[in-house]
Structure 1
Amino acid sequence: MGVGQVCVQRRRRTGDTGRTGRNGRTGTIAVVTALGLTAVLGGCGLTGGSDEVTLKLVAADYGDSAANGSQKYWDKLAKAYEAEHPGVSIDVTVYSWNDVDAKVKAMVAAGDAPDLAQIGAYADYAAKDLLYEVDELLSIPVQADFVSQLADAGQVNGVQYGIPFASSTRLLFYNKTLFEKAGLTPPTTWKELAADAEALKAEGVKYPYALPLGPEEAQAETMQWLLSGGGGYTDTNLGTYSIDSTENVATFDWLKNDLVGKGLTGPVAPGELNRADAFSAFAAGDVGMLNGHPSLMHMAERKGVKFGMVPMPGAEGPTKISMGVADWMMAFKQNGHAEQVGEFLDFVYDKDNVLDFSREYDLLPVTNSASRVMTAAKQDADLKPFLQELPLSELYPVGRTSWAAVSADVKRRIGGTVASGGSPAAILGQLQSTATRAESAE
């Protein structure tokens, strides 16, 4: 902790003699000798902005154009907060999702961690004891308002460090015009999905089912299919990775033989097809079916594509567990501004602010209060199917520090499972080995 931070903390507690703090804790009573007090006052000063605290926040960009970039959202929010909290400034830097995790990692490695980071993963930092625990920061009402499975996913060894910031689920999108032309109804099982894809192929549809297993977001498409086959990345009962389970191997055998092998996934090999390209193809009217999240709705609407959305088909019926995704807010301990960080985060997670962000970027709110509003509001009717899926969703195993290595290896290898000559059992076994090694290194 630097001298400036010591001064701020001591001054902040002036007169704070035993009051109960914002989290129900008793404030620390700063006891100094007369000589020590003189030194503090002389070293810090009482004028000239010495009470100012600047919180540095690094955040990801959710915008799809300059007009709705996240920098604008955060600048507006910071300005509103600063107007109510003189003496606290919020310095926000926004990076693209391609860069933000690496930027924060480099800052931490250089000993210059931000006060707050809104990025994709928190577990590595928590494991190194770099983060505040959530109950050291947030007021109890704000903590209680988080959607339960999102809050649970923010835990490492039973302690919450990751604060959910944004979430989404996946549904099967289908092109209504192409389906009507082929006389089809939305599938509820894999067999029906394959039959619909055959009919779409016969009608000349470029991508009957778009299967993006390219490196951009292969871990998401993979997880959705694993869940639909009754498996997943982990065994929820044992709490261990189960990537090469019998169920998972059967799922990718089916994909390889009954979908990809029959030419039902389009002209680009799944291992080379990225999610963004698949979404663009759907918005261009070239895709019959694919898994998608809320932002795809507006991409398709802007291009005039009529679409429907249904739960992901499963081996025997609609998938009972959908895939959920959450992005995370975390607070680093290095600068020691716990009280100011906590007060700012309480503001960030105010119901109206959560609603504003969720509606701006077509994402699901992470709080129950905002979710209730969106579920009932007519203006959010298009998000209701996704909101209904969220309580039934399963998230990546983000609380494991091993997940980053496993996810990276999935992106690198999983496309090979469905390639000509590929072996789902062998590749899933290799991924399991990666997971086992990463777990043992924790």
Structure 2
Amino acid sequence: MSLVNDMLRDLETRRAAPSERLQLDGLYAVDETAVTRRDRYERLRRSVVVLAVVAVLAVLLGLLVDRLLSAAPEVSTVTPPVAPASAVPSPVQILDVLPQHDGRGLVLQLLLDRSVAYQRNEESGAVSLRLKDTQLAGELQQGRLQRDGRSISWRVENSGTDVQVLLVGLGNSLAVSDRLEAAGDRWMLWIDVPLNTPVEAIDAPLALDNLPPAEAENAHSEAPLPAWVSAPLPTPVAASPPPPAVQPIAPVAAPQVKIAAYQPDTLTLARQALQAGDHPRAISLLETLQNTRGHDPQVLRWLARAYLAADDQQRLLDWLPAQLAQLPDDSELRLILARAQLQAGDTRRAVATLEQNPPRLEQEPTYFALLAASYQQTDQWQNSADLYRRLLALRPSQSTWQLGLAIALEQLDQPAEAGRHYRLALLGTDLDDSTRRFVSERAKALGGL
């Protein structure tokens, strides 16, 4: 078809003679573009018709489904909103309670894993501190201090989700000071209860016997008439000139009030430097403060802590014995000196230091725990075992003390008792992973597990 159409177009283009057209007479060239366009239009028309039919069917089907759904009863399900689970913060942990006493009174230290909010309440003869969202590991801790007819009883115990610190004084009202300070990555709550606070003198009673005797009241007699009643009228005199006008007082200038910024004292600056890890600055400030205050126990304790934190053992060993000779009953200074001696490897001198003027075990058990451990460093196993037994009678749940007693008993050739205390040590929660593995191995070796 296309070839014939091309031939006809060629004849028309060349205007061929009639003799050439004889074979193709009656045929004419077809417009192929128009034919293609008509075919395309026809296909498009058919597609539109098909789409229209499909759309009409879809509309009809939608109306039918909508009518069926509207006829059915509506069932609604309400899903209650689920509240997002909020992370419950873990309570603050009291890692240790360190009671100490010296010539001034009682110092109670609570070592915390982080900062805590607490509320203080005071009643007659008692002071209570409630630490919010705090837990004390183990059993309650308590103690008592008596001196010069005065007594202080203290107790630290769990109270629901909080921890309560109660101090009760006999003989006079308590003067309790408390402060919360950062100690490296831990926090320390200091509670200071002095016992040498002077008592206010009571006013002496009034001696009624020394009062002068009261004078007797004169008998009532009729008084005579005054002289002006019978006196003649006075002669009028000229009016006196008016008094001079009072000069106004010059106004007083308002007082000048100056507000200066708070300047912390030297001890506060030294404590801040020590907490920030700036040991040289803290030592310099505390040494200057010692030169001005002399044997102030608070300054001496902070200076000893600074030497120990700076790992300046030799300086501490040279300086602290002379200070301790002036304050022989200061158990904290004695404890710091013993730790420095242990770090220097002088275990026998550390034992001798701790054995001099020890406090009561109920008041400072950590002091005796260090002494029991020092006994083991000098192979005094029986002394160590006896002291650990006294400590465990005070606090049976202390795992480190159970471990110390087990080690001492094993060295004393008492494997059965040692295995039992190894097992008791595993029941506690204050052992790290490596120590717990060691305890488990020793318990198995002694037939305890």
Q: TM-score, normalised by structure 2?
A: 0.22
Determine which structure has greater relative contact order: mean sequence separation of CA pairs < 8 Å that are 6+ residues apart, divided by chain length: 1
